[in-house]
Amino acid sequence: MAITREEVLHVARLARLSMSPAEADKMREQLDNILAYIRQLDRLDTADVVPTSHAVEMGTPFRDDSVHPFEEKEEILKNAPDREGDFFRVPRIIED
């Protein structure tokens, strides 16, 4: 089951990566190779295996519900590619 060009474009859209048709073709070929290699996992029977999502086996630690305001708001905002006052400014959503 090779990955199709349509799937590549769909995934690129999900990942918000604009891609020319030529790039999509190259990407399709590379992903196909990698996925073919990865699918060797299909050979393993893992029906009774529990998944591991963390390398550490413990409960998540908690913090107390106390407020410590971050005082240097400008240090965050100054990185904005575009802003209006203390807002981040972005182009408007255009329906397609």
Partner 1 sequence: MHEWTLLDAAKAVRDKEISSRELTRALLSRIERINPKINAYVTVLPEAAMREAAARDEEIARGIVRGPLHGVPVAIKDIFCTKGIRTTCASRILKDFDPPYDATVVERIRSAGAVLLGKQNMDEFAMGSSTEMSCFGPVLNPWATDRIPGGSSGGTAAAVAAGTCFAGVGTDTGGSIRQPASLCGVVGMKPTYGRVSRYGMIAFASSLDQGGPIARTVPDAAAVLSVIAGYDRRDSTSVDVPVPDYVAATERGVKGMRVGLPREYFAEGVDDSVRTAVTKALTSLISLGAEAVEISLPHTGYALSTYYIIAPAEASSNLARYDGVRYGYRAAGAKGLIEMMSRTRAEGFGEEVKRRVMIGTYALSAGYYDAYYGKAQKVRTLLRRDFNEAFDHVDVILTPTAPTPAFRVGEKVDDPLTMYLSDIYTIPANLAGIPGISVPCGMSPDGLPIGAQLLGKHFDEESLLAAAAVIEREIPLPRVAPLEG
Partner 2 sequence: MRDNQGMEFEAVIGLEVHAQLATESKIFCACPAAFGAPPNENTCPVCTGMPGVLPVLNRRVVEFAVRTALATSCKVREKSVLARKNYFYPDLPKAYQISQYEMPLAVSGHIDIEVEGETRRIGITRIHLEEDAGKLVHAGAFAGAQTSLADLNRCSVPLMEIVSEPDMRTPEEGGAYLRRLRDILVYLEVCDGNMEEGSFRCDANVSVRPKGQKEFGIRAELKNMNSFRNVEKALEYEIRRQTEVTLDGGTIVQETRLWDADAGVTVSMRGKEEAHDYRYFPDPDLLPIHVDQAWVEELEKTIPELPGEKVARLVSRYGIPRYDAELLSSSRRLADFFEASVAAFGGNPKVTANECIQWKDVVAAGKLSPETIAHVVEDRETGKVSATASRKLVELAIETGKPVRQLRDEKGLTQVSNARALEAIVDKVIACNPKEVESYRGGKAGLLSFFVGQVMKETRGKANPRVVQEVLKAKLG
Residues near partner 2 (CB under 8 A) are 14, 16, 53-54, 56, 58-70, 73, 76-77, 84-93, 95
In whole angstroms, what is the distance from residue 33 CA to residue 56 CA? 32
Residue holding tokens 């891609």?
A: 19
Q: How far is the CB of 12 from partner 1 (least distance, A)?
A: 7
Query: Contact between 4 and partner 1 (CB under 8 A)?
Result: no
Which of the listed partners (partner 1, partner 2, none) does 66 bind, with a CB threshold of 5 to 8 Å by partner kind?
A: partner 2
**Cβ neighbours for 83, distance < 8 A, ≥ 6 positions apart:** 77, 89
